[in-house]
Structure 1
Amino acid sequence: MNRLWFLLTFGLIGTAILVSLGVWQVQRLAWKEGILARIEARIDAPPMPLPATPDPESDAYLHVTVSGQIAPEQLRVLVSQKNVGAGYRIISPMQLDGRKVMVDRGFVRTRDAVAAPPAGVVTVSGNLQWPQETDGFTPAPDTDNNIWFARDVPAMAATLGTAPILIVAKDVSPSDTPPTPFPVDTSRIPNDHLQYAITWFSLAAIWVGMTAYFLLRTPRSPAQKD
């Protein structure tokens, strides 16, 4: 009898814990989807002038439009694009009235040459971004071959002599191709909460099944059989 109560209690507690973890992940999923919806709304909002002092927290993904001259200098950031393969993001300085910022002009394949930016004044429409792409395992830039392995905004700004402001281009007028614009979207923001929820709920179902199996396999006393 004591063994039956132990198995039943252990099974109920384990099931409750696993189900609560699944519910928590469902709540996290709703929270993350709300964040992604707000980011998408900001990405697609009508463009506005570049703020005087953009803030990495409050102005991330802000849709802006600027006009100025894109300098020929460039940094190449190694990336891979689905269905295309390896290539580079091309980061160039852009001189505005009174300040200089960086523009992520877009993507070129590793085997393709990068055309010079359009001469004269150009207009760039794009989104502000301060990507968090570096960690302790990110290699240092290969300055001899001009290959970077992440968009490190402060380090790139120091190299190009600009403010630590990066505009990821959606559109450049006159046209600046190649590179091809590689605009900001939410597809690369991880959202695995649904998979986690399914995992926890599946484990809860397995736990229930195992508990039932052990309860049925536990021998009962003759009095219990009667």
Structure 2
Amino acid sequence: MRRLILPLFFGILGTVVLVSLGIWQLQRMAEKEAYLADIDARMSGAPTALPDAIDPVDDKYLPVVVSGTILSDEIHLLASTRDVGAVYRIVSVFETSDGRRILADRGWVKTEDKDATDRAPEAAELTGNLHWPEERDSFTPENDVQANIWFARDVDQMATQLNTEPVLLIVRETTEKNAPVTPLPIDKVGIPNDHLEYVITWFGLAIVWVAMTLYYLRRMRKTKKALET
């Protein structure tokens, strides 16, 4: 019996650890689903006027509609789309009818149209969502401001470069006629939710661990009986 205590201990310990990890991932999955539901609720609301005081946390994904003029100053962000491949996002200065200057992510153009000159100025009404993307990590190159090739939508840096408020509107709809830029609105596709896979993995490993522990204990008992006979 003493020989079975240690394998049984590790069998129980491993099972508890693996089941705990599975339960933790279930909790994380519930939190992520609640987070995504909150994003849905924020994004799908009726567009409102641009708030006077804007909070990057409380107003993230807020749907707004603004009227004014798209100005010629713009930033080009290297990006990609599933259907086209490499493209440039066009972030322009938008001056509202009451004189505020904000950033408008109008969408994408093909790489060969990066420096086209027919995109502004133009009066328009833009509908979209406020956003403060967190796209920079240790692998993201520094923005090449001189060449106007950016690799992340750093709102504060873009606002400083174009002399605007640190407010970015991701355009969903525009009243421009024959708009030269294709809108690339916010969606949830880029927000991963892989927790169900982790839940299945951890609980699956727990089942395997229990099965292997039982198999090992059974083998030990059979071996002991064989030696006794």
Partner of 2:214: 212
TM-score, L = length of structure 1: 0.92
Residue among 129, 139, 142 paired with 1:140:
142
Report the Cα distance in structure 2 between the residues aligned to 1:157 and 1:197, rounded to whole angstroms. 42
Report the Cα distance in structure 2 between the residues aligned to 1:171 and 1:223, rounded to whole angstroms. 79
Identity %: 47
Report the Cα distance in structure 1 between the residues aligned to 2:21 and 2:212, rounded to whole angstroms. 19
Q: Please state how far the C-alpha of 1:70 moved relative to its aligned partner.
A: 0.7
Amino acid at match of 1:16: V
Q: CA RMSD in A?
A: 2.0
Report the Cα distance in structure 2 between the residues aligned to 1:200 and 1:46, rounded to whole angstroms. 41
Partner of 1:98: 99
Q: Are positions 1:129 and 2:126 aligned together?
A: no
Number of aligned residue pairs: 226
1:115·1:178 contact (CA, 8 Å) conserved in 2?
no
Unaligned runs of 5+ in 2: none
Of the structure 1 ranges 101-110 and 5-14, higher mean CA displacement relative to structure 2 is found in 5-14
Report the Cα distance in structure 2 between the residues aligned to 1:89 and 1:115, rounded to whole angstroms. 15
Amino acid at match of 1:122: A
Q: Please state how far the C-alpha of 1:225 moved relative to its aligned partner.
A: 6.7
Runs of at least 4 residues of structure 1 off by over 3 A? 112-115, 117-120, 219-226
Corresponding residue SS for 1:45 = coil
TM-score, L = length of structure 2: 0.91
Corresponding residue SS for 1:73 = strand
Q: Are positions 1:168 and 2:170 aligned together?
A: yes
Amino acid at match of 1:94: F
User: What are the superposed Cα offsets for residues 115-154 of structure 1, whole Å, 9 maximum, x if unpaired?
Assistant: 6336542100000000011133321112232110000000
Aligned pairs (5 A) from 1:1-226: 1-96=1-96, 97-112=98-113, 114=116, 116-117=118-119, 119-175=121-177, 177-219=179-221, 220-222=223-225
Report the Cα distance in structure 1 between the residues aligned to 2:43 and 2:119, rounded to whole angstroms. 24
Of the structure 1 ranges 204-213 and 40-49, higher mean CA displacement relative to structure 2 is found in 204-213
2:130·2:170 contact (CA, 8 Å) conserved in 1?
yes
